[in-house]
Chain A
Amino acid sequence: MTANPVASARFAGLKFPIYMDNHATTPVDPRVLSAMLPYFTETFGNAASRTHAYGWTAEAAVDDARDTIAQLIGAESGKEIVFTSGATESDNLAIKGVAEYYKAKGNHIITTTIEHKAVLDSCKRLEKDGFSVTYVNVGPDGLVNPKDIEAAITDKTILVSVMLANNEVGTIQPIAEIGKLTRARGIIFHSDAVQGLGKTPFDVRAMNVDLASLTAHKIYGPKGVGALYVRRSKPRVRLSAQMDGGGHERGNRSGTLNVPGIVGFAKACKIFIEEGVAEAEKIRALRDRLYKKITAELDSVVLNGSAEHRLPGNLNISFAFVEGEGLMMAIKDVAVSSGSACTSASLEPSYVLRSMGLEEDMAHSSIRFGLGRFNTEEEIDYVAELVIAKVKRLRDMSPLYEMHKAGIDIKSIQWAAH
Chain B
Amino acid sequence: MAYSEKVIEHYENPRNVGSLDQEDEAVGTGLVGAPACGDVMRLQIRVNDAGVIEDAKFKTFGCGSAIASSSLATEWIKGKTIDEAATIKNSQIAEELSLPPVKIHCSVLAEDAIKSAIEDFRKKRAAKQALAGQ
Using a CB–CB cutoff of 8 Å, the interface residues on chain A facing chain B are 1, 321-323, 325-326, 329, 340-343, 345, 347, 349, 359-361, 364, 396-402, 410, 415-418
Contact = CB atoms under 8 A, between A and B. Distances in A.
A1 B11 CA distance: 11
Contacts of B105: 418
A308 to B, nearest CB: 29
A417 B14 contact: no
B62 interface: yes
Contact of B59 (A325, A397, A415): A397
Interface stretch (B29-37, B45-53, B81-89, B123-131): B29-37
Given A325-B64, A329-B3, A400 B38 contact: no
A321 B60 CA distance: 10
B59 A340 contact: no
Task: Please tell me the size bucket of the interface on B.
Answer: 20 to 34
A348 to B, nearest CB: 10
28 contacts: A323-B39, A323-B62, A323-B66, A325-B38, A326-B11, A326-B62, A329-B11, A340-B38, A342-B1, A342-B63, A345-B102, A360-B38, A361-B36, A364-B36, A397-B14, A397-B17, A397-B59, A397-B67, A398-B59, A399-B42, A400-B35, A402-B19, A410-B35, A415-B40, A416-B33, A416-B34, A418-B34, A418-B108
Contact of A349 (B8, B14, B38, B67): B38
B66 A326 contact: yes
Interface in B58-97: 59-64, 66-67
B115 to A, nearest CB: 13
A415 B36 contact: yes
A418 B61 contact: no
Given A326-B66, A326-B67, A418-B109, A398 B60 contact: yes
Interface of B: 1, 3, 8, 11-14, 17, 19, 31-42, 59-64, 66-67, 102, 105, 108-109, 112
> Closest 10 CB pairs between A and B?
A415-B34, A361-B35, A360-B36, A399-B42, A325-B63, A364-B38, A399-B59, A329-B64, A342-B63, A398-B61
A417 B105 CA distance: 12
Q: From A321, A349, A399, name the one whose CB has the most chain B CB atoms within 10 angstroms.
A: A399
A400 B34 contact: no
A291 B17 CA distance: 30
Nearest to B19: A402
B97 to A, nearest CB: 14
A325 B68 CA distance: 13
Contacts of A399: 31, 40-42, 59-61
A342 B106 CA distance: 11
A245 B132 CA distance: 88
A415 B39 CA distance: 11
A323 B41 CA distance: 12
Contacts of B34: 415-418
Contacts of B66: 323, 326
Given A347-B102, A398-B61, A399-B61, A1 B35 contact: no
A256 B59 CA distance: 58
A417 B64 contact: no
Contacts of A400: 35, 40, 61
A340 B8 CA distance: 19
Contacts of B42: 399
B61 A322 contact: yes
A399 B33 CA distance: 11
Q: From A1, A349, A418, name the one whose CB has the most chain B CB atoms within 10 angstroms.
A: A418
Contacts of A343: 1
Contacts of B102: 342, 345, 347
Contacts of A326: 11, 61-64, 66-67
